[in-house]
Structure 1
Amino acid sequence: MTETVSGAVKPSAKQQLVLTAERLFAQRGLDGVPLRQIGIEAGMANKSAVQYHFGSKERLVQAILLNRLEQLTRHRELLQARAPVDDLRRVVEAHLLPLIELAEDRDCFYLPFLEQLLRHDYSVSPLDALPGEHRESHERYVNRVGALIEHVPDTLRHNRIHQVSAMCLHACADRQRALSFGAPVVGYAVHVSALLDGFVAYLAAQPSPETLDAMAGAEPVRPPIRALP
């Protein structure tokens, strides 16, 4: 909930804590920020404001994810509804574009927060504890992409989808850092189109004989989709 003061929308205490935690975790890592410090920087008088509103750091992290994912999921669903099911580039664009757009907002710390989250504990997928609608949206995307690259062996197919999500996250976080420091970057349209070119080429590439030989004696592994798209 928010309050309106002099025509401006003021974030609620919970929302202010979420945004402050997102920024501090992005800058210092999940183990580098005491919960008390989050409350202080959010302007809370109560030194235990995080515990009062969220109970634990884990629930605060989930609140940060949900704060962004609710809008991201809605945006993706709208774009996916307009994307031809047989057009790999459009399917990938519909799913990744909402994330790519966040890099243009210098006041949004979600991308570097995700990088820190993935470094924090690689054994646990942050998708696992999210509401079903977000997991199901992601699974639909994975299935749509998988159906368009059936010529790629199953294990390799899922690994590529996983790696494209990771590459998108890191490429966009790098761009956001460059923008924040005033470093020169390519224009937004070129950035998006070139990323999609690379992602689609990687997803659809025919495996080489060398890769197929290497896979022949390897135990099949289907990695979780770690990088939140």
Structure 2
Amino acid sequence: MTESAPSVGLSAKQQLVLTAERLYAVHGLGGVPLRRIGDEAGMGNKSAVQYHFGSKQGLIDAILLNRVEDLTRRRRLLEARVPEGDLRRVVEAHQLPLMELAEDDNCYYLSFLEQLVREMHPLDKLPATHRDSERAYYARVGALIEHIPQPLRDIRIHQASAICLHICADRHRMRRMGSVVASFAVHVGQLLDTLVAQLVTPPSAETSAALETSGIARPTLRTLP
């Protein structure tokens, strides 16, 4: 499948953000010169990225903001309808907005996020509303899996989000290549089954023994958009 052309009717900044999202997702953060992003976005100015965003980091921050505000807003709407104590629905409300992005052929945000996570790119410019949403999610899930000792509880919540990101990014790539994939309903149901099982399964004797000697109370975990 060929790469997307710039969309008609978008501002120059929007064209640059969407083009950079796609190019970084496909070629990596270090594989795309800023001039190429401007060229493929249809900009006549060779320094369009610097003009609108100041730097590569400014552009990356703009790509994150372009999607994360809508993700946070949709999560809040879904969370408002979750029954008290329903772990599966809590996880679904947080992860479904991310899963939905894999169904949009022209959205490369999931693969872009994979690049950021893989290269340990700083995510400290995420809005406070998103950070608050992430903390609330950890607290809500953590309260429902109190039989899992810390620090495994936080590790599992973080790993569940990472699993969801990578599986959905892979689904997006497969769909764009024309591969046959499960229906969206099956994909979502099975993925939620996997995430909930991963969260609630009691730790093995081996893991429990390793935890007792680890000396780590709460590991440092990166926020995921």
Instruction: Tell me the TM-score normalised to structure 1 length.
Output: 0.92
- RMSD over aligned Cα, in angstroms? 1.4
Distance 1:57 1:49 in 2: 11
Distance 2:189 2:97 in 1: 14
Q: Who is 2:128 aligned against?
A: 132
Answering whether residue 203 of structure 2 is matched by residue 207 of structure 1, we say yes
Distance 1:158 1:24 in 2: 33
Distance 1:167 1:173 in 2: 10
Amino acid at match of 2:16: L
Q: Who is 2:140 aligned against?
A: 144
Query: Can you list the C-alpha shifts for 1:23-52, whole angstroms capped at 9, x where unaligned?
Result: 000011111111111111111111101001
Distance 1:131 1:108 in 2: 21
Is the CA contact (8 Å cut-off) linking 2:131 and 2:223 kept in structure 1? no
Distance 2:85 2:8 in 1: 43
Q: Who is 2:219 aligned against?
A: 222
Distance 1:168 1:42 in 2: 30
Amino acid at match of 2:168: C
Amino acid at match of 1:11: L
Distance 1:189 1:137 in 2: 26
Q: Who is 2:46 aligned against?
A: 47
Amino acid at match of 1:222: P
* Per-residue deviation, 1:205: 1.0
Distance 1:29 1:106 in 2: 18
Q: Who is 1:186 aligned against?
A: 182
* Per-residue deviation, 1:85: 2.9
Query: Can you list the C-alpha shifts for 1:90-139, whole angstroms capped at 9, x where unaligned?
Result: 000000000000101111100110111111226x3x1x221211110111
Query: Can you list the C-alpha shifts for 1:174-198, whole angstroms capped at 9, x where unaligned?
Result: 1111111111111110110000001
Q: Who is 1:4 aligned against?
A: none
Q: Who is 1:161 aligned against?
A: 157
Amino acid at match of 1:69: V
Q: Who is 1:73 aligned against?
A: 72
Structure 1 stretches (4+) deviating beyond 6 angstroms? none
Distance 2:37 2:221 in 1: 31
Distance 1:227 1:183 in 2: 28
* Per-residue deviation, 1:11: 0.6
> Identity of aligned pairs, percent?
61
* Per-residue deviation, 1:226: 4.4
* Per-residue deviation, 1:227: 3.6
SS at match of 1:11: coil
Structure 1: unaligned runs, 5 residues or longer: 1-7
Distance 2:8 2:174 in 1: 30
Structure 2: unaligned runs, 5 residues or longer: 1-6
Distance 1:179 1:91 in 2: 27
Distance 2:130 2:168 in 1: 21
Distance 2:84 2:35 in 1: 48
